[in-house]
Amino acid sequence: MEDQEKKVWRLISKLDVCMLSTLSGNSIRSRPMSAMARPEYGDIVMLTDSHLDKDNEIMRNRHVNLAYSDGGTYVSVEGTAEIEHDRALIRECWSAGAQLFWPNGPEDPSIVAIIVTPEMVEYWDSDNKFIAGLKFAYGLATHTTPFMGEHKRLRL
């Protein structure tokens, strides 16, 4: 059986887009972000523009949530975030997608990295949508509860 922490990092690594949720006053704001899992450092990194609200929200309250899904696997990451201006880290996380948002490249001073250190992770790992749909239909037809996948919650 795969070590649960390794499994969490494997799941997060294969899901490269998440919804980043931050607190904005009394409201919760979520937005899609390209995320790079770095299990060797125990963190997840996203690039963003320093002129947007995310960095200000994180500076006021570092608690964030990252929600991942591909329709068969779901991962919720509770953690703390920090804003980093380190150009080496930004270059490490650079991608063709980032180039579309920042045509001046990774040296653009408006780019910052959001580093999230996971504290609690919950995941649901099941079959793809088609197989899950078949299991669900079979359960309805036979009046049985199908096994829809593994669900775990763990502290990192």
pLDDT in tens, 19-61: 999 999 899 999 999 999 999 999 999 999 998 888 889 999 9
- For residue range 92-151, list pLDDT tens digits in order: 999 999 999 999 999 999 999 999 999 999 998 876 555 556 655 656 777 776 555 667
Q: Are 48 and 54 in contact (CB under 8 A)?
A: yes
How far, in Å, CA of 77 to CA of 85, rounded? 23
Task: Write down the pTM of the prediction.
Answer: 0.84
How far, in Å, CA of 20 to CA of 26, rounded? 16
Beta strands in 85-149 (DSSP E): 111-125
- For residue range 51-102, list pLDDT tens digits in order: 888 888 999 999 999 999 988 889 999 999 999 999 999 999 999 999 999 9
Which helix (H) or strand (E) segment holds residue 100: the answer is: helix 96-101
The tokens for 77 are 């990451």
How far, in Å, CA of 71 to CA of 92, rounded? 29
